[in-house]
Amino acid sequence: MHIALIAHDKKKELMVRFTIAYQHILKDHHLYATGTTGKKIMDATGLSVHRFLSGPMGGDQQIGALLAENRMDCILFFRDPLTSQPHEPDILALMRLADVHNVPIATNVAAAEVIIRSIKQGDLAWREIVQQKREEGEES
Ligand SMILES: O=C(CO)COP(=O)(O)O
């Protein structure tokens, strides 16, 4: 499973604690993150994370590009709804693309816990079929 991890500044500590708690599941998947979030996760857990640019510099858009190609299977995005973000349009675009492509997206830790447990149970295995179809389409 290709999993994107993103957290706004006031939610980064929560994301770090989340990734420590679910490290035993996350370690079996391909992890991606925006720049600062990814660094904090790697420092705290030792997990291998592919880091994109920092969110305000275009990291959300880079993850959005993978979503648009159906190369991302779920997004765990701990948003801060109480602080305005300079790159709000990028954030909205990311969430829109998740809806366009039916990619599960959690925007808070409670939803992220549901998604991570369902990944463990294999409930998102249907995403592998989506990926397979995409790869077949690329070959033809
Ligand atoms: O701003 C973000 C998401 O919108 C997160 O970016 P950073 O992980 O680089 O702080």
Q: Tell which CATH architecture fits domain 33-139.
A: 3-Layer(aba) Sandwich (3.40)
In the prediction, which pLDDT does 140 show?
Answer: 80
Give the end-to-end CA distance of the chain in Å, rounded to a whole number: 24
How does residue 130 score in pLDDT terms, banded at 50, 70 and 90?
confident
How does residue 111 score in pLDDT terms, banded at 50, 70 and 90?
very high
Which CA distances in Å does 95 have to 70, 102, 106, 133? 14, 10, 10, 23
137/118 Cα distance (integer angstroms):
28
Quick check: helix, strand or coil at residue 137?
Answer: helix
114-126 pLDDT, tens digit each: 999 999 999 998 9
Count the alpha carbons within 13 Å of 21 in the hemisphere toward its beta carbon: 11
In the prediction, which pLDDT does 138 show?
Answer: 85
- What is the pTM assigned to this prediction? 0.96
For the question of residue 60 being annotated catalytic, the response is: yes
ipTM of the complex: 0.98
25-59 pLDDT, tens digit each: 999 999 999 999 999 999 999 999 999 999 999 99
Q: Is the CB of 61 under 6 A from ligand 1?
A: no
Quick check: helix, strand or coil at residue 31?
Answer: strand
Residue nearest to atom 5 of ligand 1 (CA): 55
The answer on pLDDT for 94 being more than 90 is yes
Q: Is the CB of 54 under 6 A from ligand 1?
A: yes
Parse the chain into domains and list their residue ranges: 33-139
Dist. CA 14 → ligand 1 center (Å): 14
